[in-house]
Amino acid sequence: MRFGSTLPRCNRIPLALAAALALLPGAGLSGQTAPGQTAPGQTAGISAPGASAADRALAAEEFRRGVQTYYRGSFNDAILMFEKALSYAPGEPLILDWLGRSYFRSGVESSAVQQWQFAADSSWSRTRLLQLIETVRERQALRPEFTDDSRFVEAGSIAAKNGEYTLFRQPVSVAAEKDGSYWVAAYGSNEILHFDVNGRIIGKSRGPAEGFDRPFDLFRLRDGRMLLSEVGADRVSVLSPSGAWLSSFGKKGRGPGELLGPQYLAEGSEGNIFVTDYGNARVAVYDPEGKPLFSFGAKTGSFPGFKAPGGIAVAEDLVYVSDSMSGAVYRFDSSGNFVDTFLPEGSLVLAEALRYWKGSLLACKDNRVIDIDLQTGAMRDIARLGNAPVRLVGAAADANGNLVLADYRGESIQILSRIRELVGGMFVRVQRVYSDSFPKVELEVCVEDRNGNPVVGLQRGNFSVTEGGRAVGDLSLTGSAYLEDSCDVTILLDRSELSDRLLPEIRKAVSEIAQSMNGKGLLRLVSAGKIPVQEGFGPPGTGVWTSFRPKASASASWAFDLGLRLAANDLVNAAHKRTVIFLATGAEPTSGFGKYGLADLSAYLRNNGIVFSAVTLTRAPLPEEFAYLAESTGGSVQYVYRSEGIGTLVPQSIDRPNGTYLFSYTSTLPTDFGRSYLPVEIEAWLMNRSGRDETGYFAPME
């Protein structure tokens, strides 16, 4: 995909000529116009009834230049052009809409909402603009993770039978993928099935030559492989990322490493594998290659011993194991030593799988999905499936924030979404239109949920593109950013006075980041001094990054905000996966937010898909402002000398979901020699959710 200028070969018509054309006989406002065609005197779709024909022509010229500048990623320049266009055509709703778009992408969300409200007050595209305003205001509001409207309700379901054809039998567990798809283990039909985001089966596996024998829990390891416990075979199978059987470990028995009815699986931070061994009333532990290490679960001291070990999860190096008979949940360290009773007996009697999710544990019990707070042990229902015959035995959160549930008794897979997501729909935005090869048109579209989380895994059939309400005939999906395996990185260096004493740490961090990019993408380096400076850019594989020496002088009045804006500006036109990594000395910026506030900086990064992460060069705590930017954009904070190194920052950015999609089609609209504002609309939907955007562009001048 190109990220260059969208300016046409001849980028504008002389203003005097435009005004003269507008004053030709018949240049009125009442003529009928074909979709996409501009009537004389309505250059670029500007009506402005109170303005003269000359002012309309001048407004149209500035508006056209503003649209093209916006699509180049120069949002501040676009704001100036749209403001100038409004000076010629005050109150023109189309210009107000685009001015709001520019403010939004520039991070000034309050001004964006104001301009959209002005446009909506004219009853122009009112419903769309009011929905847009509501979504932006919701994102600005500080709300806890779980509120009254955070309950999950049914968004879709997949029945085991499709007419007379049986798709699967007795689903028991779910493993989610990064692309929005998920795997389901079917206990009754001895297979695992791969579903896409639309609930279609796109793959299945029945295991080795002799087949799976009562598959139970399916678990994705950090290295990409999957584990599958087999109750009938008393073993654990190792599967490739695509579900192909590779090997197995464990066998029937009571000795070390042997199993009797293995059920649930988990992985520790060191890669060790934990298996609840129901028949032996213990937890068996194996190394990453499946070699037995030890087991635990017998009565010791204050631990009463397992009666019927069930679900298991690992969080922050603590192992949580539920006992389905007693209803208690116990905590152990990674070596199997008893720590305490996390939930007392009777809390989760006959509950099924435990899964770690966003600082909580998910548990299934009958028709309920229960969220358990890891700090307090407080339990709350986040989903109920009613009084129909139901037995939920497995739950997982997919990449799009839905809960995917395995209903063993009802023989179905249930997909649940938050209430506000179903009511509010998705947030769809056309980020760019590439029209320099008109009539070939290319769109870059971002799809998010109401909270700004990317929606991934969508396919051509999830979208509809129209021009002035008429469907395009040859629409094709040419790219999905969540599949890309590289990202562009800008390193932002804190050039406080302390940074001169930390040059070894800075060089180490720069070198590690460059190496972790594996020769892909572009690396840039910006110094946040008193005046920010771009130190250099280029491929990450060159040796210049290992001997980096900053050109910018250290300063006590280093400007973090200006440095961050400069670091982010180039990334707006960069690869779809993009990140700023801040090297922080721990010094507080005395003038760090003089030009741009923290909220505006955060919005600028979020609204342009830029992840902010920080590397601390000292043991000093990171100032709260930087930690907030990392949290609000999906980044992380790491210490330069951490045992794992900081090379994981780039892979984390690559693995982060990205909801950008690329389309191409052939336009059939007349361009009026490049003067006409050509409309385009796109709608996206997924199950019971949908979202829509309306925008436009200009063809090259002729």
- How many Cβ atoms are within 10 Å of 594's Cβ, its own excluded? 13
Query: Where do the CATH 2.120.10.30 domains begin and end in the chain?
Result: 148-422
Q: In sequence order, what DSSP letters do the residues of 579-605 get, joined into one string?
A: EEEEEE-S---TTTTSSS-HHHHHHHH
φ/ψ of 93, rounded to 5, equals -65, -35
Give the burial string for 434-465 (b: 16+ CB within 10 Å, else e).
bbbebeebbbbbbbbbbbbbbbbbbeeebbeb
Which helix H or strand E contains 277, and what residues bound it? Answer: strand 273-277
Tokens describing residue 485: 């395996």
φ/ψ of 68, rounded to 5, equals -65, -40
CA gyration radius, the chain: 29
Q: What is the CATH number of domain 15-24+34-140?
A: 1.25.40.10
Tokens describing residue 702: 């002729």
Cα separations in angstroms, 544 against 71, 536, 537: 33, 10, 10
Nearest to 444 by CA among 607, 608, 661, 609: 661
Tokens describing residue 669: 């609209």
Quote the CA–CA distance of 83 and 360 in Å, as a whole number: 48
What local confidence, expressed as pLDDT, does residue 214 receive? 97
Regarding the domain with residue range 488-655, which homologous superfamily does it belong to in the CATH classification? von Willebrand factor, type A domain (3.40.50.410)
Query: Where do the CATH 1.25.40.10 domains begin and end in the chain?
Result: 15-24+34-140
Nearest to 269 by CA among 572, 674, 644, 651: 644
Torsion-angle region of 457 (φ positive above 0: left; ψ -120 to 50: alpha; else: beta): left
Tokens describing residue 391: 């037995």
Mean pLDDT by 10 residues, the chain (702 residues): 35 37 33 38 61 89 96 96 95 95 96 96 88 89 49 91 91 95 96 96 95 96 95 96 95 95 95 96 96 95 94 95 96 96 94 90 93 93 87 93 94 91 88 96 95 93 95 94 95 92 91 93 93 90 75 89 94 95 86 84 96 93 90 92 88 93 96 93 93 95 86
Cα separations in angstroms, 59 against 41, 73, 124, 475, 674: 11, 21, 18, 33, 16
- The partner residues of 220 in beta bridges, in order of sequence, read 226
Query: Where do the CATH 3.40.50.410 domains begin and end in the chain?
Result: 488-655
What is the end-to-end Cα distance of the chain in Å, rounded?
Answer: 25
407 in Cβ contact with 390 (< 8 Å): yes
Query: Where do the CATH 2.60.40 domains begin and end in the chain?
Result: 425-480+659-697
Nearest to 405 by CA among 366, 372, 374, 373: 366
Q: What is the CATH number of domain 425-480+659-697?
A: 2.60.40
Which helix H or strand E contains 71, and what residues bound it? Answer: helix 53-71
What local confidence, expressed as pLDDT, does residue 473 receive? 85
Nearest to 229 by CA among 271, 288, 276: 276
Q: How many helices (H) and strands (E) does the chain have?
A: 12, 40
3-class DSSP string for 529-549? CCCCEEEEEECCCCHHHHHCC
Nearest to 95 by CA among 84, 111, 108: 84
User: Considering only the top CATH level, what class is 148-422?
Assistant: mainly beta
| The pairing of beta strand 427-434 with beta strand 637-639 | unpaired
